[in-house]
Structure 1
Amino acid sequence: MSDQTSVFRVLSPGFLDALEALAERQGWWQDALAHPDLILAVRREAVNVYHRGASIFRVTFPNGTIAATTHAKYLLRQRQATVRLDPAGGFGIDPASAVWTDYAGPATLAEMLRAASALAGLEKTGLHRLLRNAPNVIDVEIALTGSTPGNTTTGNDEHNNEGAEADAALLDGTEVAPPTQRQDRLDVASLEERGNPDEAWLVFHEAKIAANPELRAAPDNVPAIVEQVARYTETLTREADRLVAGYQALCRDLTRLDALRQRVQGTTGVSEADFWRRDPLAAEVAEGKRCLRVDPRPRLVVFGFDANQRNGILGGHLNRLQAEPFSLAVRAIGNPGAGTSNAFRRL
């Protein structure tokens, strides 16, 4: 496998070794690995630690040393206090009491997650619940950037965009997307088998809350989601070979990170029921036991509605999307909860 095909989804061996060594010591990385409600995503020589769509930590390896960054908005201390405004316009508050200036263990991480939760919208919150019940998911927040067909690159977007902090590099790893380019994002990549024990399929998903106006349009118009999925399909078809190579590399890194995470959870008192477990397909792809194939047809996952809504106007919109001429692959989930089954399994 050449560097050109794998660069967008790979960690260097030295980086992985350093992450394993750091996990032996108490601190933010060990706490992140132990926490059952965080999602790790592999990037190009980086790991993003997500909670409800927010990149709580971005972990990199500059000059052979692990470095972590976060956004200041996640460091607000969640304390209820009245602050007096003096006649001169000054707020009577000690900044050290308002934000975390040092990482002080699990209490700091817990408040960072609360801050992220307060900023997360309904769509990201619902998607997070679905991801927690989907062991076959191998990637999230996947950025596609393109202005015209055949000119698709990737955008690097660390912590600047609300609800889209990922700097995922799906294709050629271009650092910054020119402002004239359009940036699309796929929410989820998963693995599934389809009866052939020698194959695994890489499937991409776009998740939308039911209230999203992109799902509906007047009878004479085309819903925005249809054109969006068409763009995705074109890109995934064109880049299938590169995706296969890159995601096999990603599965190798994920398998090693998953083993590290389970080891940390086992030594830090995490309940076995909360252990992070990924579908064995990822390890089988990593080891070359299964040939990875790309499904270029993204699926649409719709959530955030009740039975009455599904049987009413919403159902009509979803039926229209599934019928010709649009023929989208749609999975209607309802309201995500602890008992929600895998929303990203095979239709």
Structure 2
Amino acid sequence: MPEITIKNFDRSLPGHFVTQLEKAAEKGWWRDVLDDRELVIALRGKSLNVYWKGQSIFKVEAGLLALRASTHEKFLLDPKLSGQIHFDGEKFDVAALETKAFVKSYEGPTSIALMKRAAGIYAGREKSGCHSIAVANPKVIDVEIALPGTVERNEPGDEITSPRIDLLALEPQGTDEARLVFWEAKDFKNPELGSIRSRLPAPVLAQIAAYRAILDGYREDLEKSYTRLCSNLRRIRGAAGQSVHPLVDEVATGVRKITLGDTPQVNLLVFGFDAGQKQYADWQAHRVALEHALASDGGRLYAVGDPKGKQL
């Protein structure tokens, strides 16, 4: 497959886009999105995504005069469908579905609720867990972070794929800095976590090391981009009368300066285990090994059974 080099990294939005978002926040579907604090808004440079459990239920771009939005057709299939379809042995009688199967018009938060229900069908355990963490932690400023660097293109017409880190949060550093802290999330049963029995480095450690190397090479881009992004978030939320996390606000207003730190910090988040699994002797030993390996490069491990409502 041919390789493509991404030369820069910028997730912040241009001014005219933010202005359109501010205007749209007065009323209508975009205001409903902002008011639904279970949704995660992620800025993408020239667009933004509205996520529900890892599924992008809206992609939003700046139009000539106003916002342009789109969604995947699968999220418009009405999850309330419950009737029976006649089958004659060869064909299904789907004629009636043409009028009732899809959500065809926007009717306020009720429509968003239906789209969330439809999107939830496609949500995996890891994406759902990451979503729970992002919603509970307003200092999380980005999700599904596609890293810059050299990436492979799939078949013609496909999107470019690149390494992705699950979460990015701000943490205070001293009195005048806010550090970018990245999190790679894994479900407890993900084989990339490895095990004490394998006696081999867990694949996730190599993954994190690769992330760290890429981040270090784009230090200036990352710090500038996320400084502007914090300002974007403050304006977008402020237009709806909402506040952002104090760290985001302090970066946006120049009280704190964003830093990647001496070494990029990429932590590991593990969730999805029960009380019994937590006590497994093999897991306890492997957890210690993971903690030690991460700490050698300035990272840390956070293991939690149920991620809902948990603070990073």
Give the TM-score category using the shorter length: 0.7 to 0.9
In structure 2, what is the equivalent of residue 215 of structure 1? Answer: 193
Distance, in Å, in 2 between the alignment partners of 1:137 and 1:306 is 25
Distance, in Å, in 1 between the alignment partners of 2:22 and 2:294 is 51
Structure 1 unmatched runs, 5+? 146-150, 161-175, 264-275
C-alpha change, 1:131 and 1:155, in structure 2 (3 Å) is: farther
- Amino acid across the alignment from 2:150: T
- Amino acid across the alignment from 2:188: A
Cα offset, 1:277, TM superposition: 4.8
Distance, in Å, in 2 between the alignment partners of 1:11 and 1:103 is 26
Task: Quote the sequence identity (%).
Answer: 35
Q: 2:92 aligns with which of 78, 90, 93?
A: 90
- Amino acid across the alignment from 2:92: G
Greater alpha carbon shift after TM alignment, 324-333 vs 103-112: 324-333
Equivalences for residues 68-217 of structure 1 within 5 A: 68-78=69-79, 79-92=81-94, 93-144=96-147, 151-152=149-150, 176-177=159-160, 183-194=162-173, 196-217=174-195
Distance, in Å, in 2 between the alignment partners of 1:24 and 1:305 is 43
Tell me whether 1:61 sits opposite 2:47 in the alignment: no
**3-state DSSP of counterpart to 1:298:** strand
- Amino acid across the alignment from 2:266: P
Distance, in Å, in 1 between the alignment partners of 2:88 and 2:77 is 22
In structure 2, what is the equivalent of residue 315 of structure 1? Answer: 284
Tell me whether 1:252 sits opposite 2:231 in the alignment: yes
Cα offset, 1:133, TM superposition: 1.3
**3-state DSSP of counterpart to 2:178:** strand
Cα offset, 1:20, TM superposition: 2.1
Equivalences for residues 196-345 of structure 1 within 5 A: 196-217=174-195, 218-261=197-240, 263=241, 277-295=243-261, 296-312=264-280, 313-324=282-293, 327=296, 329-338=300-309, 340=310, 342-343=311-312
Size of the aligned set, in residue pairs, is: 295
Structure 2 unmatched runs, 5+? 1-6
Cα offset, 1:46, TM superposition: 1.3
User: Residues 309 and 315 of structure 1 are in contact (CA less than 8 Å); yes or no, is this contact kept in structure 2?
Assistant: no
- Amino acid across the alignment from 2:84: T
C-alpha change, 1:155 and 1:75, in structure 2 (3 Å) is: farther
User: Residues 170 and 180 of structure 2 are in contact (CA less than 8 Å); yes or no, is this contact kept in structure 1?
Assistant: yes
Cα offset, 1:15, TM superposition: 1.8
Q: Deviations over 1:8-55 (max 9, x none)?
A: 2222222222222222233x2122111121111111121211111111
Root-mean-square deviation (CA, aligned residues, Å) is 2.4
Cα offset, 1:214, TM superposition: 0.3
TM-score (norm 1): 0.78
Distance, in Å, in 2 between the alignment partners of 1:292 and 1:244 is 6
Distance, in Å, in 2 between the alignment partners of 1:58 and 1:229 is 28
- Amino acid across the alignment from 1:135: P
Cα offset, 1:337, TM superposition: 2.9
Equivalences for residues 17-36 of structure 1 within 5 A: 17-26=19-28, 28-36=29-37
Cα offset, 1:90, TM superposition: 3.4
TM-score (norm 2): 0.86
- Amino acid across the alignment from 1:332: A
Cα offset, 1:335, TM superposition: 1.4
